[in-house]
């Protein structure tokens, strides 16, 4: 595709030359990739199994033996059935029943079922009053009507207790009277028990919602532990060592380091000039202790030697732009932020990724020269714009 004419190279077929050049470039790229793989092979970290060999050495035999026992005696069927039954019972007691009651309590007019009967309690009280009134009428006919009515309404058993004490010594001969007094006391005990049940109902009505809510705490704890375990397993499988919150925290920390560097360099005074008198020598006349130390001619460098080697190449100090070292640090911090974005791109939406990438390019000066004030303004805008970069 080329020839010599009069000592000059003349291209005859440009298309053939372009094809051969492309083949040559592809061959060079393949060779460079091969050399890079060979050089980096020794720096590659060992596999995850090799790094955690002790875990594999302990877990593999135990897991194998457990699987062997489960499969040999068919224990896995019994284990699966029992686990399913326990989970169903746990779900029924700590999730379904409490939430059904809470829904019924908040959104319907149906209340909790009572453990006692109000009508039975009223009937028992009326029966007890009738028995007391009949007994007082038979045993104390001379008692004032008003006092008798008051004792009956208060269901006072003091007279019953006195009569019971009198009848006990002659229980055989006075058995009918003793039996009547005992039945009245049994009716009173029945009334007290029903009143206690009524009080228990009132107590349960006032605290049932709290009890049902507390019953869901184990279910929520199990849910949180399961979520934590599954998330850790997901991170382990996908080789992600940090969570979403930790990723955002690392980005905020690197942005803080970048802002701290820019604030220190914003309008900083220039560095002091180097010393021209050298370093004072410690060789003084010991016979004259009051003689001040003076620089030795050998220890006093010349002004030319005291100046740094690259003093002529160093650019003049500017308070609105970064030096070479600081600019390199900015590039490293920006590269760290970009690496976090690339490794955790699934944790950011596409719009935020593009916008953050553009802001980082502006910070690094890839969109043109920027001053320190402009870089600080970009950081301030990033903190205002992106929620995951806002300080907490």
Using CA atoms, how far residue 119 sits from 122, 125, 126, 229, in Å, is 5, 10, 11, 55
Return the minimum-mean-pLDDT range out of 21-25, 48-52, 87-91.
Answer: 48-52
pLDDT at 319: 54
User: Residue 346 gets which letter from DSSP?
Assistant: G
Measuring CA to CA, which residue among 345, 329, 332, 341 is closest to residue 382? 341
Q: String of b and e for 235-257 (b: at least 16 CB within 10 Å)?
A: eeeeebeeeeeebbeebbebbee
Measured CA to CA, the distance from residue 238 to residue 232 in angstroms comes to 10
Q: How many residues does the chain have?
A: 392
Q: Is 2 helix (H, G, I), strand (E, B) or coil?
A: strand
Measuring CA to CA, which residue among 57, 53, 48, 60 is closest to residue 239? 48
260 pLDDT tier (thresholds 50, 70, 90): very high
- Whether 82 shows a pLDDT value over 50: the answer reads yes
- Whether 103 shows a pLDDT value over 60: the answer reads yes
301 pLDDT tier (thresholds 50, 70, 90): very low
- Whether 349 shows a pLDDT value over 70: the answer reads yes
Q: Percent of the chain, pLDDT > 70?
A: 81
Measured CA to CA, the distance from residue 369 to residue 352 in angstroms comes to 24
274 pLDDT tier (thresholds 50, 70, 90): low
- Whether 169 shows a pLDDT value over 70: the answer reads yes
List, in order, residues 6 or more apart from 22 with CB less than 8 Å away: none
Q: Is 151 helix (H, G, I), strand (E, B) or coil?
A: helix
According to DSSP, the residues that pair with 10 across neighbouring strands are 3
Q: Which two tokens stand for residue 53?
A: 């060999």
Using CA atoms, how far residue 97 sits from 63, 84, 121, 337, in Å, is 37, 18, 30, 49
| The residue to which tokens 């206690």 are assigned | 196
The predicted model gives 284-297 an average pLDDT of 44
The alpha-helical segments, DSSP class H, found in the chain are 14-41, 48-51, 53-72, 75-91, 97-107, 118-139, 145-154, 158-167, 175-215, 217-237, 244-265, 303-306, 324-343, 350-363, 372-385
pLDDT at 285: 44
Top mean pLDDT of 87-96, 170-179, 273-282 is at 87-96
Higher pLDDT, 356 or 240: 356
pLDDT at 277: 55
The predicted model gives 319-341 an average pLDDT of 86
Measuring CA to CA, which residue among 373, 360, 72, 389 is closest to residue 250? 389
**Residues 14/2, Cβ–Cβ less than 8 Å:** no
- Whether 317 shows a pLDDT value over 70: the answer reads no
**Residues 208/101, Cβ–Cβ less than 8 Å:** yes
292 pLDDT tier (thresholds 50, 70, 90): very low
pLDDT at 257: 92
Measured CA to CA, the distance from residue 341 to residue 349 in angstroms comes to 11
**Residues 280/298, Cβ–Cβ less than 8 Å:** no
Using CA atoms, how far residue 14 sits from 18, 28, 145, 209, 242, in Å, is 6, 21, 135, 87, 54
Its pTM stands at: 0.40
Higher pLDDT, 17 or 28: 28
Measuring CA to CA, which residue among 198, 202, 186 is closest to residue 121? 198
The H or E element containing residue 344 is none
Q: What would the pLDDT profile of 181-195 be if each residue is shown by its tens digit?
A: 888 888 888 888 888
Q: Which two tokens stand for residue 238?
A: 């996908």
Q: Percent of the chain, pLDDT > 90?
A: 9
Measuring CA to CA, which residue among 138, 156, 139 is closest to residue 147? 156
- Whether 310 shows a pLDDT value over 70: the answer reads no
| φ and ψ at residue 301, rounded to 5 degrees | -75, 160
Measured CA to CA, the distance from residue 84 to residue 316 in angstroms comes to 77
Q: What would the pLDDT profile of 218-257 be if each residue is shown by its tens digit?
A: 888 988 998 888 877 777 776 666 778 888 889 999 999 9
| The residue to which tokens 């039996």 are assigned | 179
pLDDT at 241: 65
């Amino acid at each position: 595709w080329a020839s010599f004419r009069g000592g000059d190279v003349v291209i005859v077929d440009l298309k053939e030359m372009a094809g051969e050049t492309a083949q040559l470039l592809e061959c060079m790229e393949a060779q460079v990739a091969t050399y890079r793989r060979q050089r980096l092979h020794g720096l590659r970290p060992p596999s995850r199994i090799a790094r955690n060999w002790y875990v594999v050495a302990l877990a593999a035999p135990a897991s194998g033996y457990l699987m062997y026992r489960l499969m040999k005696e068919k224990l896995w069927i019994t284990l699966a059935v029992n686990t399913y039954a326990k989970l169903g019972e746990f779900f029924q007691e700590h999730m379904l029943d409490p939430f059904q009651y809470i829904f019924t309590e908040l959104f319907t007019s149906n209340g909790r079922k009572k453990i006692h009967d109000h009508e039975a309690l009223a009937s028992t009280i009326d029966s007890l009053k009738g028995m007391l009134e009949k007994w007082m009428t038979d045993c104390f006919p001379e008692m004032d009507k008003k006092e008798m009515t008051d004792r009956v309404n208060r269901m006072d058993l003091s007279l019953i207790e006195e009569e019971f004490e009198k009848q006990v010594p002659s229980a055989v001969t006075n058995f009918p009277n003793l039996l009547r007094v005992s039945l009245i006391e049994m009716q009173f005990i029945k009334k007290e028990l029903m009143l206690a049940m009524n009080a228990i109902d009132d107590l349960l009505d006032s605290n049932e919602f709290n009890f049902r809510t507390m019953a869901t705490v184990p279910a929520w704890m199990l849910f949180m532990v399961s979520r934590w375990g599954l998330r850790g397993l997901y991170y382990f499988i996908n080789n992600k060592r940090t969570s979403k919150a930790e990723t955002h925290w690392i980005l905020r920390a690197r942005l803080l380091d970048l802002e701290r560097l820019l604030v220190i360099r914003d309008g900083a005074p220039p560095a002091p000039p180097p010393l021209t008198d050298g370093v004072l020598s410690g060789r003084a006349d010991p016979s004259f202790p009051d003689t001040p130390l003076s620089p030795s001619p050998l220890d006093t460098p010349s002004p030319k030697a005291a100046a740094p080697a690259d003093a002529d190449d160093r650019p003049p100090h500017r308070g609105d732009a970064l030096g070479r070292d600081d600019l390199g640090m900015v590039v490293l911090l920006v590269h760290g932020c970009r690496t976090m974005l690339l490794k955790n791109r699934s944790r950011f939406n596409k719009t935020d990724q593009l916008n953050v990438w553009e802001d980082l390019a502006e910070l690094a000066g890839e969109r043109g020269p920027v001053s320190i004030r402009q870089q600080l303004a970009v950081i301030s805008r990033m903190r205002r714009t992106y929620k995951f970069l806002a300080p907490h």
